[in-house]
Amino acid sequence: MPYENCRGRQCVVVGCSNNQRDLYRWKNTICAEHGEKNENCICLAPFKFHCLPLNAERRREWLGVINRKDFNPASKAVVCSLHFVDGLPTKKNPLPTVNMGYEVTKTPKPRRQLVRRALMPVGDNMKLEPSEPMFSATMLPPDYVNDISYEQIECKTTCCLKYPGFCNNVPKMVEASTQTDDLIRLDHPYAYHKTTKCASTQQTTPEFSIDDISSDTDARFYTGLDYSVLMALIAMMIPFGKALSYKLNISDQILSVLMRLRLGLTFFDISRRFNISRPLVANIFHTWIDILAVKLSDCVVWLPRTSIRRTLPSSFVDTYPKTTCIIDCTEVFIQRPFTLKARNQTYSNYKSHNTAKFLVAIAPNGYIMFVSKAYGGRASDNFITKSSGFLEYLLPGDEVMADRGFTIGEELCARQVKLNIPAFMKGRTQLSAQETIASRRIASVRIHVERAINRLKCFRILSTTLNIKSTTKLDKKMRVIAALCNLQGSLIRENTSED
């Protein structure tokens, strides 16, 4: 059976299901009138197929009548005879015009009628038009009818004292001229928002603003800064934001940027919180990142040797008093890039993920003095240290403390700088007693750089997997976050009270 499981050709008119399989079944059925197979019977077929014209102009006319959106028919597309006035295309009626599938029109849903009660003045008093039965004395309790006359119902003082809430059900007497229903508000509630706009400044009133932060706990949670530090930062940045014509207060603009850095919020979430559009939030964020990276550049500087010696913690005084800085690398997860070359450059074997890598150098007191630009996760610690410009800050007589991965002793020796790193096994079964003690001492004080990196990662934009678009200006974001950590305080402390 060639057509039992396939439809074959089918009419291309919308809603028409006539196909070749229906014709095949009709031919193999017995005619009820003549008792023969319909294939050999004199009865006419229920429908016939007519191919679309090959002539380009006539074919265009047929497609215009068929009226199917984005329709590109095959060369052997057909229309059944049921759609022609004469049963087939003729000179008088060459186009299919019957039952084309789009003649039925939807009736519009009836609009909801607003029910009003017309209030008309009658005489000296205002009375309600009797569209519904008024309340009567039979509706009142017996003791109420006996004690209070019907005229006292309009008085709320006496009846509400004895029967609380009764007068709330009594229709209020209002003049018809003063009854104004806001039809737009009733029919189009979406046109009204909870927030308003100031006509003079064209600034929106956000659902969340700087006024909602009133304590150190709130400020640390949303921005990572104490309340006093946050207010000082905003006061310092307000003069630089006056040239920006955004429909949001400068304080709220800075707050939205800090919230994205601290909490890792999406632009859509911030737009809902501040009642502005998502593209505007993105513009505000990228604009302020550039401003903060320039204006806060003085917060991440290499300290003089005298300042480092004066603020040296007690844990360094007896063991490593000449330590200038502690260095380490940190990685930020990113999404897998599209190009194979970028995937290769950013894949980190240590993290088994595509990452961006930074070199961080801190003073012994925890002050972040240097943050390198972003490198791919494949770059080694030694390569980043040599190419980031970190070595240019070192002076003869300085001491650098690092982990085992930083084998840069030759470069530092050329600059007369000492490198303090834990001892290597170098094929031995165990370390000597002196090497073990030295490694433990280094590890006990080198932990400060890990705590500094942890303070950076408390800004959750660095602890989440960044998409490809978020990696733009990643160097500036890292420097801004380092500057914010230095503003919060130069003493090392773990800021995890709110996490």
The reply to whether 38 falls in a domain is yes
- The answer to whether the CB of 493 falls within 8 A of the CB of 458 is no
Identify the domain boundary among 177, 196, 222: 177
User: For the chain, how far is it from start to end, CA to CA, in angstroms?
Assistant: 72
Q: Which two tokens stand for residue 303?
A: 């300290």
Instruction: Give the side-chain half-sphere CA count within 13 A for 263.
Output: 18
Range of the domain at 17: 1-103
Instruction: Give the side-chain half-sphere CA count within 13 A for 260.
Output: 25
Question: What is the rounded CA–CA span in Å between residue 342 and residue 378?
Answer: 10
Question: What is the rounded CA–CA span in Å between residue 384 and residue 387?
Answer: 5
Give per-residue pLDDT as tens, 171-230.
444 444 444 444 444 554 444 444 444 444 445 566 888 989 989 999 999 999 999 999
The reply to whether 415 falls in a domain is yes
The verdict on 308 and 269 lying in the same domain is no
How high is the pLDDT of residue 166?
Answer: 45
User: Which amino acid belongs to residue 370?
Assistant: F
The reply to whether 197 falls in a domain is no
The verdict on 241 and 339 lying in the same domain is no
Nearest Cα residue to 456 out of 471, 476, 478, 429: 478
* Residue 76 DSSP one-character state: T
For residue 109, the tally of other CB atoms under 10 A from its CB is 6
Question: What is the rounded CA–CA span in Å between residue 243 and residue 259?
Answer: 22
The verdict on 354 and 468 lying in the same domain is yes
Q: Which two tokens stand for residue 136?
A: 């009567």
Report the phi/psi class of residue 144: left, alpha or beta, with left for phi > 0 and alpha for psi in -120 to 50: alpha
The list of the chain residues with pLDDT below 70 reads 1-7, 103-206, 490-499
Phi, psi of 144 (to 5 degrees): -70, -40
Nearest Cα residue to 259 out of 281, 237, 287, 228: 281
Nearest Cα residue to 81 out of 28, 13, 132: 13
The verdict on 447 and 308 lying in the same domain is yes
The verdict on 363 and 444 lying in the same domain is yes
The reply to whether 283 falls in a domain is no
Residues 6+ apart with CB under 8 A from 333: 351, 353, 354, 355, 464, 465, 466
How high is the pLDDT of residue 109?
Answer: 59
The verdict on 395 and 306 lying in the same domain is yes
The verdict on 333 and 449 lying in the same domain is yes
Give per-residue pLDDT as tens, 417-428.
998 888 887 777
Nearest Cα residue to 375 out of 334, 327, 318: 334
How high is the pLDDT of residue 128?
Answer: 41
The verdict on 323 and 399 lying in the same domain is yes
How high is the pLDDT of residue 107?
Answer: 57
| Residue whose token pair is 């030295």 | 438
The reply to whether 286 falls in a domain is no
The reply to whether 474 falls in a domain is yes
The verdict on 98 and 246 lying in the same domain is no
How high is the pLDDT of residue 7?
Answer: 64
Q: How many domains does the chain have?
A: 4
- CATH code (residue 310): 3.30.420.10
How high is the pLDDT of residue 108?
Answer: 62
The verdict on 167 and 220 lying in the same domain is no
SS3 content of the chain, % helix, strand, coil (to 5): 40, 10, 50
The verdict on 129 and 89 lying in the same domain is no
The reply to whether 498 falls in a domain is no
The reply to whether 141 falls in a domain is yes
The verdict on 425 and 464 lying in the same domain is yes
